[in-house]
Amino acid sequence: MSATTELPTKEANLLKGHEGAVLAARFNGDGNYALTCGKDRTIRLWNPHRGILIKTYKSHGREVRDVHVTSDNAKFCSCGGDRQVYYWDVSTGRVIRKFRGHDGEVNAVKFNDSSAVVVSAGFDRSLRVWDCRSHSVEPVQVFAPFLRFTIIDTFLDTVMSVVLTKTEIIGGSVDGTVRTFDIRMGREMSDNLGQPVNCISISNDGNCVLAGCLDSTLRLLDRTTGELLQVYKGHISKSFKTDCCLTNSDAHVIGGSEDGMVYFWDLVDAKVVSKFRAHDLVVTSVSYHPKEDCMLTSSVDGTVRVWKK
């Protein structure tokens, strides 16, 4: 049986409820639940495998652009057009804290491994770090005892995406760079791709960073050296934020396309091994299940779809 038959290309569920574009769809840590958010200013919690809406969260004053849940599924963070980062309690739906400090819209949020810290990426050319355990609503600079690190506005344009490792914060920007801030060493490394970066994700083995660029290419970088390992083409990505990621085995690269298609490439040789129409309009988000061959996609068409093999 070829590996491509293991890819999730059959629609299993259609999640409807958002009014207007859905801007992000994310599995939780074990893949049993999903959070979605969008133009209608809401965040929705689903059981995607049964197609059931569990809860709707409302507090944002503008569109919600990204969401990320803690490893214990008890809290989540969100961000969007109202320039704030929200820290929520999943079960009660209560906003625990609103972190203020960005001077523009916020594009992306991520928790660190321990879920003690949230990092956000914004239109104001910055990444900001927030301590969830503190009662302060200001960005912090302390990550661990005796480790002090300041993230300064080194980006020259909007920061669109952020990923974290145990010791690093990595941001992708419209200025064409992927910048890595090493928390332990207190240093910054920059890889200039020469094209606006609108999404980055990290391989499951932690060795590579995948960068989606607005010249309709995905670029795979060695996380340590910054070496360009591979380039993936075929999809359309020129003016919208469209997600990219890897499968949980790191065997394939996935990218959404502005024409509603989803593409799968072989990681090593960059050949398109599968493509299919997932939505009628732009695919904004792709999220791969942490353990199973299952995928979420969201779109400007207002829907979220669950795909299985």
Based on the number of CB atoms within 10 Å of its own CB, is 59 exposed (0-12), middle (13-18) or buried (19 or more)? middle
CB contact burial 263-299 (16+ within 10 A = b; e otherwise): bbbbbeebeebbbeebbeebbbbbbbbeeebbbbbbb
Dihedral angle sign, alpha carbons of residues 177, 183, 184, 186: positive
* CA neighbor of 59 nearest in space, from 27, 23, 88: 88
- Nearest-5° angle of CA 66, CA 166, CA 212? 45
pLDDT of amino acid 154: 77
pLDDT of amino acid 34: 98
- Nearest-5° angle of CA 134, CA 100, CA 299? 110
The tokens of 106 are what? 């916020």
* CA neighbor of 31 nearest in space, from 308, 257, 256, 243: 308
Return per-residue pLDDT of the chain as tens, 309 residues: 345 668 999 999 999 999 999 999 999 999 999 999 999 999 999 999 999 999 999 999 999 999 999 999 999 999 999 999 999 999 999 999 999 988 899 999 999 999 999 999 999 888 999 999 988 888 764 322 233 445 444 788 999 999 999 999 999 999 999 999 887 887 888 999 999 999 999 999 999 999 999 999 999 999 999 999 999 999 999 999 999 999 999 999 999 999 999 999 999 999 999 999 999 999 999 999 999 999 999 999 999 999 999
pLDDT of amino acid 201: 97
- Judged by DSSP in three states, 216 sits in coil
In whole angstroms, what is the distance from residue 96 CA to residue 100 CA?
13
